[in-house]
Structures are given as C-alpha cells and as structure tokens.
Amino acid sequence: MKRIELKEITKRYPGCVANQSVELSVSAGEIHALLGENGAGKSTLMKIIYGVVKPDEGEMLWENQSIEVKGPAHARELGIGMVFQHFSLFETLTVAENIALSLPKAEAKSLDALKKRISDVSKRYGMQLDPNRYVHTLSIGEQQRVEIVRCLLQDVKLLILDEPTSVLTPQEVETLFKTLHQLSDEGCSILFISHKLDEVRALCDNATILRGGKVSGHCIPKDTTTDEIARLMVGDDTPLSEDYKKATGGEPYLTITNLSYKSEDPFATPLKDISFDVKAGEILGIAGVAGNGQEELLNLISGEETTTASCVKFAKKAVANLTPEKRRILGLGFVPEERLGRGAVPDMSLEENALLTGYQGELTNKGWINTTKVKAFAKQIIEQFNVKTAGSLAQAKSLSGGNLQKYIIGREILQNPKLLVCSHPTWGVDIGAAILIRHALIELRDQGAAILVVSEDIDELYAISDRVCAICDGELSPVAPTNEVTINQLGKWMAGDFSPSDTHSDTASAGPLANVGGLS
C-alpha cells in the first residue's frame, strides 16, 4: 500500500523555484531517503507535506485518497509526524508540558497519565527520557528524543526526520537507527532527509534525490555507491574527492592553560580546566555536540569575553584580558558560527563587511577609509573565493549561506592571520563550496598559520585536521593525532568518556559510520 504520493508538486518563491514537478512516493513501512544539497528543495517539500507551506501546483495522495493538508494540526490528525532540524520545542517548559501542547486536548487532560505514557513509549523504543525535566536542561540529542516521542505518542503513520543525525554523536545515531528500524517493522513509513550518504546507505530502503528543486534520480542506496549518489546530488561538474596530507606543525602559537570559566549567561556551559595548544602550521579540530562549551571557549579566544590574562596566549604573549580588536592586531582571524549577525552585518554591503574586520590594515589611513582599496579588497575576495554575488555592493543578506561563508572565510584568510579560528566552517554549505573552503584552510596551514576548527561534522574533522579532540560539558578530551583516533574513540570523547581505551584495537570494527574520507 502506498502511504503517501506526491504528484507534480511545484512551489515558487519570488526569484526562485523551490520545487518543480516533484514526484515522490513512500509505501507503508518503508524508510525512504530524500537526498540533496542545501537549497535543493528538500525542506520546502517536507513543509508542504506537513502543511506548513501550500504548494502552487500538484496533488498529494494520502493512503490513495487525494487530500489537501490544511496545516500542521491537520497533518498530525492524519498521522504525519515531523521532527524539525531546528527543534520546535519550548525551552522554558518541561518535557511533559511540551508534549501535552501538541496532543489533542482529550489526551492531554491528565499530566500524570501523560508522564506515564511518555515513560512507557520512550522505554519501548529505547530512548531514555525524563518527562519532568525542563527542555533547556536537555542535551541536543535528548531534545531530539522529545520530538520523536512526541510524534510516537500520536499513532504516527509517516514520520519525517529533517537531518536528524547532524546533531548527534555516532553512538546516538546508532540508537536512533535502531528505533527507526523498530518503527518501520511496525508499519510506520519514514522519510529521512540527509546529506550524509553513508548513513542513508546503512538505513534506507529507497532514495529520491533532488537537485535544484527537481528530482534528479532515484536509487536503492544499498546497491549504489556513495560516489554515484553524490553525482546525482551535485551534478557533473563538481570534483568530489578530497585527500589532504597531514602536517605536524612547528612551535605552538595558541596556548590555552588551565582555563576555567563561568559566563554570566545562566544557560552557558562552564568551562572546566581546559588546556591545549595549536601549533603554527597545523590544524587542530575540536569535535563535539553543540552546546557543550564550544561557544564559550571560542568567545574567550576571540576576545568577546575576557578572563585572567595568562589563560590564553598567542605566541607566549598573554592575551585573555585583551579586546577582540587588540587580538586581531596580534594576528587573529575569526570565523564565527552565525554568519548573519556575527560574521557579517546583514544589511551592509560586502565592501562594508570587508572593512569590518580589515580596517586595521591598509584599508584605512588615520581614521579615513580608503574606498578604492576597500572595493579592491572586496573584489579580490569575491574572485579568489568564487563568491556568487551580484557585485561588491550587494547586501550580505542577499547571498546564500554557502557564498556568504566563502566570503567571510576569504576575508579572514586574505588578511594573512597567524591564527585562524573557525567555527563550523562548512555548516549548511553545499559540497562544492565546502571543498573550496577546506582547500583554502589547508593552503593557509601550509603557509604556516595555526588553525583551530570547531565542528560537529566528524567527517570534516577527519578530512582536514592534523590533531583532534572533543569537548563535552565544558571539559576537553585528550588531544591526539587524527589518524590515531578511531571514530568510536572520538564518539566516546564526544559523549564525555575520556578514559584511555583500546585506541588501536577496534580500528576495524568501527561500525557502519566508519568509512570516512572521500565525501562527507
């Protein structure tokens, strides 16, 4: 039986076609992957199914009946559940209260009865969850469980998961996959959106691939190679393979010693006695699930927060009490996680954004802006980093995520930093742009810069970093050369288990996600 069928779905936005004549069909109990790069139209399609967005054209069949989904509430009545990439949870409410809000009134009458149901369901599917806890105290993985349990409580027939694994540790991914298999055995259909091909091959029965809003192909992931699927995703003209030589680096440039810090923000993670160094000419990668102290650590390195001077040193000079500006003069380049708002000012032009971090150099003279040089600098970034834009006067917010990221990274790299700190350098960036960014980072490393990369993308850290470690709940794991750390080991570190273990013995049995390299 077909659970859901989409026919000729088209959705246009001003200036772009998000979906063009998309066809999709999912049977009962099938795990179906929806693949595509960012901007390929996956999210729009999911929102159409869930009733958040109305299609301009096309027809939707639900269990062979033609229907029009009026809104999320209607979708849930039909038995469609959705786990968003950005969770739709309320942080100031408890788990049970969050779930109560999305259930029909009659079912949510007694909060105590509901708590029991939550415990039962979460046990049955192997997802531990305490209904009394406040959502803001949960890890990202646990928050995702709340979303899934919320769907499961409503007799779900089609579960949509939007990039569910991007925020999980490898071990959490395995637990999730077990749950999903159990669900599909019980007849629930699953639509799994991802761009991690290894996971799709491990989990899904069928796949539909989108490119530029159109269906570019179908395949059975188990019988198709990663490269073939990637080809369907990116088209013919993008190089796919990446292989970088590891470097050992020279003298330590950034040194962090016994850094403990508690920010004034009550939701921030306190840092506990962190020590590490980044050598000139190497890339150090810090893995970890978001919200484990990365942001706090980066704020202290960039100078957005200050503390006892000697905790952070640039080439032996104590800097932890200096402002960002003074640290930049010493040779710091910084690429923050949020592009719009912190990396770039959305309403300013690219030229003005170039000036924002480049003003200490030749771009200004005694406080006067040299507009010719600013224009030239902006154009240089656009050309060297292949930024697709209407011109150097375009507003930063008009660029797509990937292009803006290329621009921001280019702006920092072209100032020849001695230390470059990047947070999630390729998050939400498509494969082509990601490769360009990684190439640029490696090139900068080979010129002798110290580079610190914080990322949730483990494959990326394996591809580019020379040494790697993980951060969990404000504590840093041991630091080790990347090729000596197995993915299992790194996963344990990410989950907070820093005990020394069989680093070398379990290299071969690293699980379904271990074939790293090639493509992320």
Does 372 contact another protein by CB under 8 A?
Answer: no
Tell me the two tokens of residue 213. Answer: 């809003």
- Other beta carbons within 10 Å of 464: 26
Q: Which residues pair with 261 in a beta bridge?
A: 271
Q: Are 493 and 469 within 8 A, CB to CB?
A: yes
The structure tokens listed for 518 are 């090639």
Give min distance, CB of 36 to another protein, in A: 20
Residue number with CB closer to another protein (88 or 241): 88
Between 8 and 77, CB nearer to another protein: 77
Query: According to the binding rule CB under 8 A, does residue 266 interact with another protein?
Result: yes
Backbone angles phi, psi at 86, to 5 degrees: -100, 115
Residue 174 token pair: 């395995």
Residues near another protein (CB under 8 A), total: 31
Q: Which tokens hold the place of 86?
A: 């950005």
**Contact map string, positions 479 to 508, toward another protein, x by CB under 8 A:** ------------------------------
| 115 scored as a contact of another protein (CB under 8 A) | no
Three-state DSSP at 401 gives helix
CB of 424 to another protein, least distance (A): 22
Q: Does 108 bind another protein (CB under 8 A)?
A: yes
Amino acid at 206: N
Among 6, 24, 53, 254, binds another protein (CB under 8 A): 53
- Phi and psi at 254, nearest 5°, equal -95, 125
CB neighbourhood size of 511 (10 A): 16
Residue recorded with tokens 């150097």: 392
Comparison of 12 and 218: residue with beta carbon closer to another protein: 12
- Per-residue binding string, another protein, 180-219, x by CB under 8 A, is ----------------------------------------
At its nearest, how many Å lie between another protein and the CB of residue 86?
9
**Is residue 72 involved in binding another protein (CB under 8 A)?**
yes
Distance CA 248, CA 32 (A): 43
By the 8 A CB rule, do 217 and 232 touch? yes
- Least CB distance to another protein at residue 214 (A): 22
Chain-centre distance of CA 204, in angstroms?
Answer: 21
Asked whether position 97 contacts another protein by CB under 8 A, the answer is yes
CB closer to another protein out of 87 and 498: 87
Helix (H, G, I), strand (E, B) or coil at 275: strand
C-beta of 97: minimal distance to another protein in Å? 6
Stretch that binds another protein, among 52-60, 302-310, 314-322, 399-407 (CB under 8 A): 52-60
Least distance (Å) from another protein to the CB of residue 211?
24
- Kindly state whether residue 268 participates in binding another protein, applying the rule CB under 8 A: no
The verdict on 100 binding another protein (CB under 8 A) reads yes
Question: Whole-number minimum distance, CB 199 to another protein, in Å?
Answer: 25
| 101 binds another protein per the rule CB under 8 A | yes
Q: Tokens for 491? A: 């996963």
Q: Which is nearer to another protein, 5 or 473 (CB)?
A: 473
Q: Using the minimum distance from each CB to another protein, give the nearer residue, 87 or 359.
A: 87
In Å, what is the CA distance from 356 to each residue of 116, 350, 376? 54, 10, 15
Answer yes or no: are the C-beta atoms of 395 and 310 closer than 8 Å: no
270 touches another protein (CB under 8 A): no
For the bound state, the minimum distance from the C-beta of residue 470 to another protein, rounded and expressed in Å, comes to 27
List the x/- string, 75-94, binding to another protein by CB under 8 A.
-x-----x-x--xxxxxxx-
Structure tokens at 241: 């393979």
* DSSP string over 301-368: HHTSS---GGGEEETTEE-TTS-HHHHHHTTEEEE-S-TBTTTB-TTSBHHHHHHHHHTTTTTEETTE
Measure the CA–CA gap between 412 and 324, rounded to whole angstroms. 14
Q: Is 54 in the site for another protein (CB under 8 A)?
A: yes
- In angstroms, give the least distance from the CB of 233 to another protein: 26
**465-489: b (≥16 Cβ within 10 Å) or e:** bbbbbbbbbbbbbebeebeebbbbb
Tell which one of 2, 12, 133, 136 touches another protein (CB under 8 A).
136
Please state the closest distance from residue 443 (CB atom) to another protein, in A.
40
Q: Under the criterion CB under 8 A, does residue 71 sit at the interface with another protein? A: yes
Q: In the set 134, 244, 359, 498, which binds another protein (CB under 8 A)?
A: 134
| Single-letter amino acid code for the residue at 333 | G
In whole angstroms, what separates CA 396 from the centre of its chain?
21
- 473: alpha, beta or left, given left = phi > 0 and alpha = psi -120 to 50? left
Query: Is residue 516 involved in binding another protein (CB under 8 A)?
Result: no
Query: Which residue type is seen at 261?
Result: Y
CB of 189 to another protein, least distance (A): 20
449: CB partners within 8 A, 6+ apart: 280, 281, 416, 417, 418, 419, 420
Cα angle at 104 between 101 and 108, to 5 degrees?
65
CB of 449 to another protein, least distance (A): 39
Q: Kindly indicate which of the ranges 217-225, 260-268, 407-415, 494-502 contains the residues binding another protein, using the contact rule CB under 8 A.
A: 260-268
| Contact flag: residue 47 with another protein (CB under 8 A) | yes
**From the CB of 18, what's the least distance to another protein, in Å?**
12
Residue 102 contacts another protein per CB under 8 A: yes
Q: Which residues bind another protein (CB under 8 A)?
A: 47, 50, 52-54, 71-74, 76, 82, 84, 87-93, 97, 100-102, 105, 108, 111, 134, 136, 264, 266-267
